[in-house]
Amino acid sequence: MKADILDGNILFVQESNTNLTQWMARYSELRSKRWKVSTKQHYNETITNHINPLIGQYKLNQLTNNIIQEEFVDVLVTKKLKKVTIRGIISVLHGALAFAVLKELIKRNPIVELEYDSAGEARSGNFYSEEELNKFLQCAKDNDPHTRYTLLLTLAMTGMRKGEALALTWEDIDFEDKLISITKTRDRFGSRKPKTKRSVRTLHMNETLAIQLKKYQTWCIQKKWQLNKQHQKEDVVFITVKGARPPGDSYLKDAISFICTTYKLKRISPHGLSHTFASILLANNIPLISVAEILGDHPNTVLSVYAHSFVKKETQAADLIQSFVK
């Protein structure tokens, strides 16, 4: 029996009797105060749905890289989970085991090298060309010229994330200087500050978006007046046609699905509009650092995620060198 001081509490752990399920519960209890609400939910779902059912019965000092590979990772692959999903699940497990090492419950992290190359890749082509984007936006406008079109246009014209758009309030929009302030995000757990400092930023509106948002603001005021509601600058920008309430977490996904199905368009995810925005900018020679600042991402992230946008440039570079060699 040995004692560890954890966050001011004395935790007695008998290594021979502590299994992974018990440790994951303790790990969550100790670390959850540091996690954002969405991160906590993600970790809890990962632990409950994947880690505990598959290898939770193993005692900490029994776990080996081979056990984790065969009884955990290989099973995740057979469930047809994508590589990016498996990578995220492993990351949660690795962090919990690393914390167990830090607290001297085990001597080393049993995860050495795990293989899941046979897992499927995330959906490719989750973006539109310039022509496809124009067609998509026109169809969205024909379908609903108010909330649906304005929200989709905002994503397409700024590259902001879904949660950032849903969290926008009218006081975040400066029509005079054509600026939008990104200071928060919203999902099914409510509004809160973004995860990183890079996400807090100011975006420039083009004339098309500024005009549409101004028209939409007028529509929102009228809609609220019909429902005996007062328009406030603290109100969220985007509201539902029925009830003038903030849209639910699935609103964007459902809207895109409906438009793509109705008009027989290529299907993308809500993030695909941000992806489209970045891809078009990069393909038109906007500097990588500038694109990263607009998206609120690190340049290395942009470089890895949007590598396909550089293919055309690489071909042009090869042709340019060839022109100098006779």
Q: Tell me the per-residue pLDDT of 215-270, one tens digit each, with 9 for 90 and over.
A: 999 999 999 999 999 999 999 999 999 999 999 989 999 999 999 999 999 999 99
**Domain map of the chain by residue range?**
2-102, 130-314
Q: For the domain made up of 2-102, give the CATH fold.
A: DNA polymerase; domain 1 (1.10.150)
H-helix segments, 82-206: 83-102, 130-143, 147-158, 162-167
d(CA 318, CA 198): 34
SS3 198: helix
Q: Does domain 130-314 have CATH number 1.10.443.10?
A: yes
Does the pLDDT at position 2 exceed 70?
no
Contact 101, 109 (CB under 8 A): yes
Q: What is the pTM of this model?
A: 0.71
Question: Across residues 184-205, what is the average pLDDT?
Answer: 89
Please list the residues that pair with 191 across neighbouring strands.
Answer: 186
